[in-house]
Amino acid sequence: MKNVNKRTILLSLLLVFCMMLNGFSQEYRTETDLLGDIKVPKDAYYGAQAARAMENFHISGQYVNDYPDFIKAWGMVKLACARANTEAGKMKPEILKPIEEACQELIAGNFLDQFKIDLYQGGAGTSTNMNVNEVLANIALEKSGQAKGNYKKISPNDHLNMSQSTNDTYPSSLKLGMLLHNDRLIKELNELKKSFRKLGHENIDIVKMGRTEFQDAVPMTVGQEFHSFAAMLEWDIANIEHASQSLMVLNMGGTAIGTGLNTPKGYDKYVIEHLRKISGYDVVNADDLIAATSCLQGFVVYSSALKTLATTLSKISNDLINLSSGPRNGLFEINLPARQPGSSIMPGKVNPVIPELMAFVSYRVMGNDVTVNIAASDGDLQLNAYEPVVGLTIFESQKLLTNTIKTFRVQCVNGITVNKDVHKRNLETTIGIVTALNPVLGHHVGDELAKEAKATGKGILELVREKKLLTEEQIKVLLSPKNMTGLDKSKYENK
């Protein structure tokens, strides 16, 4: 034991020594900002203000580079700004060229490791904006044959932030980043919708009992139920696409509070034109840049659409859980793919873990929407300083939804099978189909049949046959899928 302890101590000391040696060997450059000098790792592309933010904000362990679309959007915004400044005659063409090359690096997804500021940060996003400015300045300097930190040649403030403020570039980059991710979210939703449509077509003729308040109601088909899930998703897709239009209204050129201070003539128009070409989105500037700088309406509208989608996904997920319940002592109308053992104590138990996950994520997205609403309502006067929490919650919602919807489709929906025998048995024994017989037997006879069925445990069809109330031919016609469910297959042909 003593020898083991000695070896452990020696190894620990050796590890500490190596760490110290590595720290001593780290080379730094000194940069200066408003607060004075600060050391920055010599090989880092970020600078003084990003370094201070890294020191100040050790909060969540979630970093700006956890959302690459956001950084890509920054590259697009800064590229549009540089081109607009050049077109307006404020930036020299020889400065534009290396800045363009630097921006293209971010758009291509490079240098992500240089954005390690915590997403939970004060300052309305200034730390992130300066992180971008510093990284772009140093990339541009290297491409010009200059050393990192030689900001007299290309400056994070004077060149990369020319005619700008965090207060117009930060929300614009947030919105553009959300639009980029929204494309992937819509793609996954369309794939999930297709999966439900496929199940709908495959099971369109299988009659089942519909339920209201968990009680037998009236007949429908299994296919109609799956088609209804697809329709819900189609409504959400249309809602999200409409809501995403609110993200295309920017405040570029407004600078600090929307007045356009320090911008050259025509800059606000030039920057939007360039950003449209670079991004491929039909972005526009708001008709009142002061209002657009302090109001987060676009984020609220889009977040609300994500919340609405989450409520739909939760409803569908819990329906699938209920329909697959049992298997022996539940509804057991469908089978969900078995993905893992369901219990540490109960042998043979398999839980509906994938739809549970989908519901789990949906609850988180609903909560994120509350955060967006509160933050948007608490912004004061000419700026909402809480944009970072609005941005990170919407980014998180997009990411969680996109990833989980794919998992839900691949690991669950695509493997669903239907228990036809269960549906057949249910129809034979349920009291619910008495409603379908009302047109011929009348409501009063239906009530009497229902009461007797409950009292005796017999099925409605069994009693109808015993009492010879209908012929087999009449039963066949009345209980056909079309007559019982209003089934019109042509409604789904092009779905």
Active site residues: 343
- CB neighbours (10 Å) of residue 260? 19
Quote the crossing angle between the two packed helices 68-87 and 93-107, to the nearest 10°. 160
Using CA atoms, how far apart are residues 268 and 494, in angstroms rounded to an integer? Answer: 45
Using CA atoms, how far apart are residues 253 and 491, in angstroms rounded to an integer? Answer: 50
Structure tokens at 8: 């452990």
Using CA atoms, how far apart are residues 220 and 232, in angstroms rounded to an integer? Answer: 17
CB 430 within 8 A of CB 207: no
Using CA atoms, how far apart are residues 421 and 429, in angstroms rounded to an integer? Answer: 12
Using CA atoms, how far apart are residues 299 and 392, in angstroms rounded to an integer? Answer: 11
In the chain, what is the greatest distance between 2 CA atoms, to the nearest angstrom?
A: 100
The position carrying tokens 């915004």 is 77
446 alpha-carbon distance from chain centroid: 49
Kindly compute the dihedral angle of the four CA atoms of residues 23, 24, 29, 35, in this order, to the nearest 10 degrees: 70
Tell me which DSSP letter residue 341 carries: B
Using CA atoms, how far apart are residues 272 and 117, in angstroms rounded to an integer? Answer: 28
CB 412 within 8 A of CB 355: yes
Helix segments in 144-221, DSSP class H: 166-202
Nearest CA among 159, 139, 141 for reference residue 150: 141
Using CA atoms, how far apart are residues 68 and 96, in angstroms rounded to an integer? Answer: 24
Residue 331: φ, ψ to 5°: -70, -45
Instruction: Tell me whether residue 337 is exposed, middle or buried, using C-beta atoms within 10 angstroms of its C-beta: 0 to 12, 13 to 18, 19 or more.
Output: middle
CA distances from 333 to 160, 197, 225, 228 (A): 61, 18, 12, 17
Nearest CA among 76, 483, 63, 490 for reference residue 279: 76
Using CA atoms, how far apart are residues 388 and 121, in angstroms rounded to an integer? Answer: 7
From start to end of 5-56, where are the E strands? 28-33, 36-41
